[in-house]
Every structure is written in C-alpha cells, then in structure tokens.
Amino acid sequence: MTKRHSNLVGLQRRVSFQKESPYVMTQSWIRFTHDGAIRFGTLDGEQIRVHVGDMFDAPTLTDITLQLSDVTVLMPTVPSKVVAMWNNFRALGEKLKLGIPPEPLYFLKTPNSYLNPGEIIRKPACEGKIVFEGELGIVIGSRCKEVGVDKALDYVFGYTCANDVTHAEILNRDPSFAQWVRAKGFDTFCPLGPVVTTGLDPATLVVKTTLNGDVRQEYPVSDMLFSVAELVSRLSADMTLLPGDVILCGTSVGVGSMKPGSDVQVEIAGIGVLHNRFE
C-alpha cells in the first residue's frame, strides 16, 4: 500500500463516520503538502477547504478547494512537546498489578520521534523488542497554564490518533535508571494523525490497534484513571502547554511487539486511521 493510498483509506473511514452521525458537530483539520507547499484546512468528504493563518488562532477560509487524492497528508500538528501518560488505564494497570497512581505519571516524546501518517517507523540500530501502543492524543488549542479542571476543556482544540512506539527491552535494562527518554525517543517513534478532530466527546471513543490486519487492542477511552480535563489541568500546573502540543492519554491491554515488515494501524472512529509500516 502506498503512503498516499494509506492516508486516503484512513481519512475515508473518518468521512464515513461523519456521514453516519449527522447530529455530531465535528470538524477535522488536516495538514498536507501540495505543489511543494505546506498547507492546512478542513476535510469535507474527499475535498479539503484550504485555510490560511494559524490553525489554532482564527484561521481564514479561502476559496481554494483541493482533492484529498492530490495531497500528501502530514501529521496534523507540529508540537513543541508530546507529553505521554504511563499507567492511566484501569484494565492495563490491573493486568500488570499496578496500583492506582495519586497523580498522572508521564514522560516526554522528543521532536525527532514525530512521524507523519503513512511514513516508515524505523528499527533502531540496537537490537531488542519494539512494541506498538495505540493511543488517543489530546491536541491543545491555546496557551494553557494552571487551569482548573472545570475550565480545562476550553483549552483542548481536538483529538488525534497516536502510536507511542517503545523499545521495551531498553526501558528497564539498567536497574539503577529507567530509560524512558531513550526507550521512547528514537527517530520515528511517535506517529500522529491523520487529522485532528474537534467536537468529539472523548468518553465515547474507542481506540483500536491492528497489526498486519489482526486486532490487537480495542479499548474504551472511558477506562482512563485521569480524564482529559484532569490531565490538562494537572499537566498545566507543572508546565505551560502551548497550541499544538499533544498529550498522549496512555494505552491499555493488547500492547505487543512488531517485527520488521509489519503494518500497524491505530483507528479511532471520528478521527480516522493512522497507518504506518515498521521496517
């Protein structure tokens, strides 16, 4: 499957969901390249309504319309940081016999790890088990610092799909130091996309991850220990969240290893399918 065809499959599934749910007021924002330029807009069926300005600050609609088939889809935002949760789903915590944390436990994914939909997740030079982790990504829409839970959703722009790829054997290889940055931060280890969708209720979403066509994860976002509002509020107390930043909500049961040549897809109805190949 070509990169462009892979992008179209995921986005067409998102469009199908929208048509089946006419009373859900959602809007999907997409970044892409066309004629050598990076642009963004909203997805309307198989057409893109091109906007200019800042996606997160009163973007302006133009009279330009492009066909989805004529563009190359990029990850929908370029975050200053990706903050990712550990032990935030009840089912996985119970399986691993982990206690419920009193506060969100998190690490950072480094910018070199960001990857566009359809691009290749590259195997690092060092040997060991590489695992997929399908997740919901929260995309921040405005500068966020020390906000309360009751106001936190006002700072959320929308939601995207993510794959928190991990070098599992490195993580706890040294008993004196958990290597979160290295295990999570290899080049290409943070695919995002294919769009960021506004107007969704995260509590109704289900994350489905398939490996080579086999469903490996299918879990409800409502099983999170810390809700979207709680995550945004708590994290904003520690660090300023900027427009375009992404919070990965954590993952649940079904995480597994990938072998070179594998196709992995993270699908969330209303957002689409994030497809990447591992080589």
CA atoms of 187 and 133, how far apart (whole Å): 16
pLDDT at 17: 38
Tens place of pLDDT per residue across the chain (279 aa): 455 545 554 565 544 334 334 445 899 999 999 999 999 999 998 999 999 999 999 999 999 999 999 999 999 999 999 999 999 999 999 999 999 999 999 999 999 999 999 999 999 999 999 999 999 999 999 999 999 999 999 999 999 999 999 999 999 999 999 999 999 999 999 999 999 999 999 999 999 999 999 999 999 999 999 999 999 999 999 999 999 999 999 999 999 999 999 999 999 999 999 999 999
Both tokens of 220, joined, read 């409800």
H/E element, 267: strand 262-268
3-state SS of 202-229 is HHHCEEEEEECCEEEEEEEHHHECCCHH
Length of the chain: 279
Report H helices in the chain.
Answer: 3-20, 90-95, 149-152, 168-171, 180-184, 228-238
CA atoms of 68 and 195, how far apart (whole Å): 12
pLDDT at 45: 87
CA atoms of 121 and 131, how far apart (whole Å): 11
Both tokens of 27, joined, read 């809007």
CA atoms of 77 and 61, how far apart (whole Å): 18
Of 164, 146, 163, whose CA–CA distance to 155 is shortest?
146
Distance of CA 50 to the CA centre of its chain: 22
Q: Output the CA angle 245-251-149, nearest 5 degrees.
A: 50
CA atoms of 185 and 166, how far apart (whole Å): 8
Q: Walk me through the domains of the chain, giving residue ranges and CATH numbers.
A: 75-278 (3.90.850.10)
Question: 212, 47 in Cβ contact below 8 A?
Answer: no
Beta strands 272-278 and 120-121: pairing type?
parallel
Distances from the Cα of 149 to the Cα of 10, 153, 167, 221, 232, angstroms: 33, 8, 33, 18, 8
Distance of CA 116 to the CA centre of its chain: 11
Both tokens of 56, joined, read 């997160």
Sign of CA dihedral 62, 68, 71, 77: positive
Question: 83, 247 in Cβ contact below 8 A?
Answer: yes
